[in-house]
Amino acid sequence: MRDRDQTDVKILENLLDDARVSSRQIARRTGVSVGTVIAKTRKMEESGIIKGYSAILDHEKLGYELTVVTEITVSKGKLLEMERAIGKIPNVCAVYDVTGEIDAIAVAKFRNRKELSEFTKGLLAMPFIERTNSHVVLTTVKEDHRLI
């Protein structure tokens, strides 16, 4: 984390642990004033380090039984267009540009095979998508984007 001091890191750790934690509680835990916590948090929000606040959901308990990683090959230089379109699909959690023999990877969650089938067929119907290769996740060992 460039240009951040240890207090920034401690504030972020507290927010990642519980986004509902108050500035007063963070101040108490980090040993700085409430004003410092508020000012530093606001600065990190304005700079885009903190993009928003969210609950961490258990997707399986919400009925999303399948997690799928799909490799995507795109033709004719339309990669960014395709990635933006794929990113708008509600089931898609992440879209990545990657190096190697494929162009992009999408991670998505589905309630059942029918939803997965519709997603895959929808991708293949998109212009400039040459091919896909989907991997169904058998066991999720770790799924956590809260890094510091």
CATH 2.30.110.10 fits 6-46, yes or no: no
What integer best gives the mean pLDDT of the chain? 94
Neighbours of 31 (CB within 10 A): 9
Contact 64, 39 (CB under 8 A): no
The phi-psi region of residue 55 (left if phi > 0; otherwise alpha if psi is between -120 and 50; otherwise beta) is beta
130 vs 82, 96, 103, CA distance in Å? Answer: 11, 17, 10
Contact 15, 53 (CB under 8 A): yes
Q: Quick one: fold of 66-136?
A: Alpha-Beta Plaits (3.30.70)
pLDDT in tens, 46-59: 999 999 999 889 99
Output the pTM of the full model.
0.83
Domain residue ranges in the chain = 6-46, 66-136
